[in-house]
């Protein structure tokens, strides 16, 4: 009897990864939860890392060494990233990343003021699950800054729950699941649950972007994100002076603009994902305030999914697919089947651990 006969699906993927037969770990949750306010992004003249790149700058500047995002994944070199942006019709900015205070702003050092949970991930990241609790009221950023600034190191921290923004359960549970049909064929399921007592709306904006490497490396060109003839799909491509061109596609994905308007930080380095684009967010604000519909899910001309709830307790789901292959050439695959295959490793202990 071959050893493979005693392996479950995840153990087989681990063996294929170790033998370099299939690169199952090429994509995973390698995007930071927080890249602002870190030493690696400090280029200040006086070494003031926390003040040089706070959360307030992150939506208008390109990171140099890494990226951050909500429920975000990327390839192992962090060339291409996928993540989530949200808007509740009330926030002044899109929710593209976790909010928090820098080391000098927080009374106990840097402090992310959010509630988010990495719920699951197999060793090869063939299945991943993430939960984020998004308030339906405007996110109390100013309140957190103001109240925390009044507290000393001897005082307890001012928590997000203390603001009352979650009172009456007025928030969304946003669950993001990833399941790999192949090493570079990833099924994505995003489900938003309205936990509040009344109807509420959340804009769910799946986003794909490239980490900015071309601004720092001579000879590299900007990647391309473009629409294709297939409805609801976009294509990405990237070339490098060291590697041959690579390409991929994703279904139902709105591309980020490649020529951002840097109104807030005119001197900052630009990139395909340099943070929130003023024009893009303003358009979403106008459309959100004007749009009214009885259906649960609609699509606007930008490809975004707008979840509309008729009452509290409702939920809605969108499904996406991130793949290196041509969408037309792929066989049909259900995220439920991929999830079952990925999770079967829990039925018995692992015989080996990933490197």
Q: What is the pLDDT of residues 74-115, one digit of tens each?
A: 999 999 999 999 999 999 999 999 999 888 888 888 889 999
Instruction: State pLDDT tens for residues 236-258.
Output: 776 543 333 344 544 443 333 33
Q: Using alpha carbons, select from 235, 240, 226 the residue that is nearest to residue 79.
A: 240
Query: Of the ranges 45-49, 138-142, 176-180, which is most confident?
Result: 176-180
Residue 156 inside a domain? The answer is: yes
Is 343 a domain residue?
yes
Give the rounded percent of residues in the chain with a pLDDT score beyond 90.
38
Residue 123 has a pLDDT of 97
pLDDT at 344: 40
Predicted confidence (pLDDT) per residue in 260-314, tens digit: 333 454 333 333 343 333 444 445 544 443 332 222 333 333 334 445 454 567 8
Q: What pLDDT shows up at residue 259?
A: 35
Asked if residue 354 is part of any domain, the answer here is no
Of the chain, the percentage scoring pLDDT greater than 70 comes to: 68
Instruction: Determine the 3-state secondary structure of 324 from DSSP.
Output: coil
334 domain residue, yes or no:
yes
For residue 312 the two structure tokens come to 């509290």
238 contacts: CB under 8 Å, gap ≥ 6: 79, 80, 210, 223, 224, 245, 246, 247
Whether residue 179 is contained in a domain is answered as yes
Residue 220 token pair: 């590299």
Distance between CA atoms of 275 and 23, rounded to whole angstroms?
Answer: 30
The predicted structure's pLDDT at residue 94: 92
Give residue 212's domain range. Answer: 3-347
CATH of the domain at 341: 2.70.98
pLDDT for 251 equals 47
- Counted domains in the chain: 1
Q: Per the domain annotation, does 275 fall within a domain?
A: yes
Sequence-ordered list of residues with C-beta below 8 angstroms from that of 147, at least 6 positions apart, any chain: 158, 162
Q: Are strands 246-251 and 315-323 parallel, antiparallel or unpaired?
A: antiparallel
Q: Is 222 contained in some domain?
A: yes
Q: Does 351 or 154 have the greater pLDDT score?
A: 154
Degrees to nearest 5, angle at CA 177 with 71 and 302? 70
The pLDDT of 172-201, averaged and rounded, is: 94
| Cβ burial, residue 66 (10 Å; 0-12/13-18/19+) | middle
Whether 353 is in a domain gets the answer no
């Amino acid at each position: 009897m071959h050893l493979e006969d005693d392996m479950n699906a995840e153990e087989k993927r681990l063996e294929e990864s170790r033998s370099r037969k299939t690169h199952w770990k090429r994509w995973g949750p390698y995007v930071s939860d927080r890249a602002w306010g870190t030493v690696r992004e400090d280029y200040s003249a006086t070494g003031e890392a926390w003040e040089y790149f706070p959360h307030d700058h992150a939506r208008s500047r390109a990171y140099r060494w890494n990226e951050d995002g909500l429920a975000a994944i990327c390839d192992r070199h962090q060339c291409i990233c996928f993540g989530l942006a949200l808007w509740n019709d009330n926030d002044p900015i899109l929710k593209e990343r976790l909010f928090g205070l820098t080391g000098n702003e927080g009374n106990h050092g840097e402090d992310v003021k959010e509630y988010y949970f990495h719920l699951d991930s197999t060793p090869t990241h063939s299945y991943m699950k993430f939960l984020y609790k998004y308030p339906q009221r405007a996110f109390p950023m100013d309140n957190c800054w103001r109240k925390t600034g009044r507290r000393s190191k001897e005082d307890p921290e001012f928590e997000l729950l203390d603001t009352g923004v979650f009172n009456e359960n007025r928030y969304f549970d946003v669950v993001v699941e990833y399941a790999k049909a192949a090493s570079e064929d990833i099924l994505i399921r995003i489900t938003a649950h309205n936990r509040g007592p009344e109807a509420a709306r959340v804009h769910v904006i799946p986003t794909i972007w490239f980490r900015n490497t071309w601004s720092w490396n001579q000879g590299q060109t900007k990647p391309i994100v473009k629409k294709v003839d297939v409805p609801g799909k976009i294509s990405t491509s990237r070339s490098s002076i060291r590697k041959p061109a690579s390409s991929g596609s994703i279904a139902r994905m709105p591309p980020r603009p490649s020529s951002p308007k840097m109104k807030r930080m005119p001197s900052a380095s630009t990139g395909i994902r340099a943070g929130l684009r003023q024009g893009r967010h303003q358009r979403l604000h106008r459309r959100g305030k004007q749009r009214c519909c009885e259906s649960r899910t609609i699509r606007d001309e930008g490809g975004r999914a707008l979840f509309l709830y008729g009452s509290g307790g409702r939920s809605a789901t969108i499904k996406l697919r991130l793949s290196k292959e041509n969408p037309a050439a792929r066989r049909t695959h259900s995220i439920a089947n991929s999830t079952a295959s990925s999770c079967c490793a829990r039925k018995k202990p692992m015989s080996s651990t990933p490197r």
